[in-house]
Structure 1
Amino acid sequence: MTIDERAERVIPLPPDQVARYAMDWRHDAEWTQGIREAALTREADAGGFGVGAEVTRTAYFLGKRIDYVLRVAEHEPARLLDMVSVAGPMPMHITYTFTPHPDGTLAGIRVRGDASGYYRLAAPIMARKVRSSLGKDLRDLERKLLEPPS
């Protein structure tokens, strides 16, 4: 079964500010549901973060620890981050978009995946959980960006 879920939210800040924070893997655990750790495990061919870089995430989903590696397929700072899984429990494709909006930034997340094998039976539950998590991710991203510095 294929999962294809997306969420959008207007965040009252400029796209470059929202994207800079959201695209920085060091912040993944601060605003992304279930992620406990994230590490840059392979730099881009040109060095640092960009196309070809790989981020390893440790998450918990439905009570189970999941380790997966996402490779950056497209990276347009302040606009787009597209990543595909190269290791993990199931094939995934995650796209983050940041579009100018009259009230700030229209931030979007889309998750596509192939819930086969072990995950096939849980696919309907997974789809609902992913949909709920994406909305919470964007809410938490906005909260994190708007909270006063400590």
Structure 2
Amino acid sequence: MGIDEIVERVLPLPCERVAGYAMDWRHDAEWTQGIRTAELTREADGGGFGVGAEVTRTAYFLGRRIDYVLRVAAYEPPRLLDMVSVAGPMPMHVTYTFTPTPDGGTLARIRVRGDASGLYGLAAPLMGRKVRSSLVKDLRDLEQRLSAPQD
């Protein structure tokens, strides 16, 4: 059974600022539900973060620890970050897009697709709802974090 969830939110902040923060793996645990750690475990071919880079995440989902690795498939800052899982409990595809709005804000969109067969097959309907709920919270937390006074 497949999961395909898309959430979006308009943030009243400049696109470069939103994308710059959200596309930086070092901030994953600060605004993404369930993620406890994120580590760049393979650099892009040209070094640093970009296409081919891999980020290993440790998260908790439905009460279980999940370790997975996402490989960057497309990286076009500040517009697009597309990642596919290369290790983990289920195949997954995560896409972040950021589009400037006419009033200077940002339309932020997250799409998560995955194959919930096997271990998670029976829980696929619950997983879809939980993924959607988590993504809604992610975008809310992203806006709150970026709107907070800077130290």
Structures share fold, TM-score greater than 0.5: yes
Secondary structure (helix, strand or coil) at the match of 1:72 reads strand
Q: Percentage identity across aligned positions?
A: 81
Aligned to 2:145: 144
Matched positions, count: 150
Q: In the alignment, what sits opposite 2:37?
A: 37
2:2 maps to 2
Structure 1, unmatched stretches of 5+, are none
Q: Deviations over 1:10-46 (max 9, x none)?
A: 0111111100000000000000000000000000000
**C-alpha distance in 1 between matches for 2:48 and 2:123:** 36
- How far apart are 1:149 and its partner, in Å? 1.5
Residue 120, structure 1, aligned to residue 125, structure 2: no
Question: What is the CA RMSD across the aligned residues, in angstroms?
Answer: 0.6
Amino acid at match of 1:125: L
Residue type at the aligned position of 1:120: G
For the residues of structure 2 that align with 1:77 and 1:48, how far apart are their CA atoms? 14
Q: Write the distance in 1 (CA, Å) between the matches of 2:126 and 2:102.
A: 35
**TM-score (normalizing by structure 1):** 0.99
TM-score (norm 2): 0.98
Q: How far 1:59 moved relative to its partner? A: 0.3
Tell me the distance in 1 between the aligned counterparts of 2:80 and 2:36: 23
How far apart, CA to CA, are the structure 1 residues paired with 2:51 and 2:76?
9
- Which ranges of structure 2 fall in alignment gaps of 5 or more residues? none
Q: Distance in 1 between matches of 2:98 and 2:108?
A: 5
Q: Where do 4+ consecutive residues of structure 1 move more than 2 Å?
A: none
Matched with 1:65 is 65
Q: Tell me the amino acid that sits aligned with residue 15 of structure 2.
A: P
User: 2 CA distance for matches of 1:31 and 1:98?
Assistant: 16
